[in-house]
Amino acid sequence: MSAAALDPKGFNKLYLNGEYVAAKGTETYALRNPKDNSTVTADVPIASAEDVDAAVAFAEAAFRGPWSKFTAVQRTECLLKLASLLDDELTPILTLDSQTSGIPVSLAPVRERTYIKNCLVYYAGWTDKQKGDYFPADDGFVKLVRHEPLGVCAAINPFNGPLATLFLKTAPALATGNVIIVKPSEKTPLGSLAIAPLFAKAGFPPGVFQVITGAGSTGALLAEHMKIRKISFTGSLTTGRKIQELAARSNLKRVTLELGGKSPAIVFADANLDNALTWTVNGILTRSGQLCVAASRVYVQREIADVFIQQYVERMKAASNDFGDPQDPGVKFGPLVDEGQLARVTAMVDKARNDAELVVGGARLGTTGCYMEPTVFLNPKNDSEIYKNEVFGPVSIIKTFDTEDEVIDMANDTEYGLTSGVFTRDIARALRVSAAIESGVVGINCVSVQNMQVPFGGKKQSGVGREFGEYALRLFTEPKTVLINMAA
């Protein structure tokens, strides 16, 4: 892919049926670089109902036509070819995406490339392992169960990990024989558009993978479309509810929702202090706190509270020096995604000043762009917004506790239940507390981490369904029972 092809102004079309095409809808919008609010491109299309219908028609034709004739081995070959193509192509595309996401390009060479490539290679190995069941004819019927693809699927992706999420949803969908339409966040669509032609280059037939752009109105068209059989959404709780409602009111399409968190990190007195500090600080600063798994609530046992808080605050304060131009490979942390997100975070922080003790940060960082200081509050009121709601910025709270039972109650006092962390050298305590915490993922002596081999998802209002691992595959297939009458 040439450097010219990565000019953001060149991605002002939709990617349908294996090619870039002009949108039927006439509405467009502009994108800005959050490091300085300069315009990146001014004419990103908003896909209309006609555009969505066209994407679905192409997807259905591919699903029932050429893609249905691909063997499992051929699907594996396509996924592995795509992974190979990304060796050379991915970093420039991630750099393009950084212009509107603010995600530092320093993450691209190792973290992003490794994560994405591992995802493709992992699911490439699953294409021929969609085993079914056999039950003997002890009642006169042989019973067979096989798992079949759903058909046309859709993915609505977040702004904070647009390409990683694209592959996280696309790889299991394609491995199981489905086709997929991707709608990236309206804030970060460029990388998804840029990467689309690589699917054709890898051997996927036209219509198997498509990208449309737009805001919430376009997402709603996907959620309510009568011929889309599955929708996978990552984003806010408010939008997730709307998608589930639209899916239910239309054709009862399958829905997977990953809706954020307010993840607790529990640090017991016997924990390795340096390890706990490293994980909890990184867990709130990575992507400037714009992570659903961010360690935004830290509970520290009273015996070590003074020393832990002092060192935690020092590290957070020092991290202000690591923020800068996200397109500079030497910069560790970037801005929030846009002015709207900065205003939202700033408003929550200002309100929290009356509910908790502000010990570091609390203001916009610098005078240009959408940067927020790393911010820490101590012992907020139990009903305060900063304590209860997801901030999605580099803002954390610290509370002290005395007993194990007390901190379990504190950690579970939330409607979120995505991830958590337990820091202790006592393995019995670690297992006991991890069992009691109401979250889909629990890290022991780590936090805010995911692994491709095991399921990822939340309890309570953090979501519905699971991604990663074998569990994601079952959510892209439908079991079919076949009964054979042996007496006929």
Q: Is 458 a member of any domain?
A: no
Question: Which CATH number fits the domain that encloses residue 300?
Answer: 3.40.309.10
- Using alpha carbons, select from 205, 148, 184 the residue that is nearest to residue 481: 148
Asked whether residue 250 falls in the same domain as residue 323, the answer is no
Query: What pLDDT, in 10s, does the model give residues 287-323?
Result: 999 999 999 999 999 999 999 999 999 999 999 999 9
Active site residue 148: no
Alpha carbon distance, N-terminus to C-terminus of the chain:
60
**Residue 181 resides in a domain:** yes
User: Do both 254 and 281 map to the same domain?
Assistant: no
Q: Say how many domains are in the chain.
A: 2
pLDDT tens digits along 73-131: 999 999 999 999 999 899 999 999 999 999 999 988 777 888 899 999 999 999 999 99
In terms of domains, do 143 and 52 share one? yes
Q: Cα 93–96–97 angle (5° rounding)?
A: 90
Cβ proximity of 268 and 301 under 8 Å: yes
Q: What is the pTM of this model?
A: 0.95
Which CATH number do you get for residue 141?
Answer: 3.40.605.10
- 481 phi and psi angles, rounded to 5 deg: -95, 130
Residue 336 has pLDDT above 90, yes or no: yes
Place of tokens 């911010």: 375
Is 348 inside a domain boundary?
yes
Are residues 399 and 254 part of one domain? no
Q: Over pLDDT 70: what percentage of the chain?
A: 99
Separation CA 374–CA 395 (nearest Å): 6
Structural domain containing residue 282: 263-444
**93 shares a domain with 17:** yes
Domain assignment of residue 456, yes or no: no
Q: What is the DSSP string of 159-216?
A: SSSHHHHHHHHHHHHHHTT-EEEEE--TTS-HHHHHHTHHHHHTTPPTTSEEE---SH
pLDDT (tens digit per residue) in 183-202? 999 999 999 999 999 999 99
- pLDDT tens digits along 360-410: 999 999 999 999 999 999 999 999 999 999 999 999 999 999 999 999 999
Is residue 247 located within the same domain as residue 296?
A: no
Please write the tens of the pLDDT for every residue from 24-50: 989 999 999 999 999 999 999 999 999
pLDDT bracket for residue 277 (50, 70, 90): very high
Same domain (yes/no): 183, 284: no
Does one domain contain both 384 and 252?
Answer: no
Mean pLDDT of 443-452: 96
CB 280 within 8 A of CB 315: no
Give 228-256 pLDDT, tens digit per residue: 999 999 999 999 999 999 999 999 999 99
Q: Are residues 248 and 384 in the same domain?
A: no
pLDDT at position 2: 41
Residue carrying structure tokens 């679905």 = 56
pLDDT tens-digit map of 128-172: 999 999 999 999 999 999 999 999 999 999 999 999 999 999 999
The reply to whether 126 and 269 lie within a common domain is: no
**Do 181 and 321 reside in the same domain of the chain?**
no
Catalytic residue among 224, 258, 373, 438: 258
> Average pLDDT over the chain, rounded to whole?
96
Q: Are residues 250 and 279 in the same domain?
A: no
Q: What is the pLDDT of residue 111?
A: 73
Distances (CA, A) of 320 to 3, 277, 357: 33, 16, 20
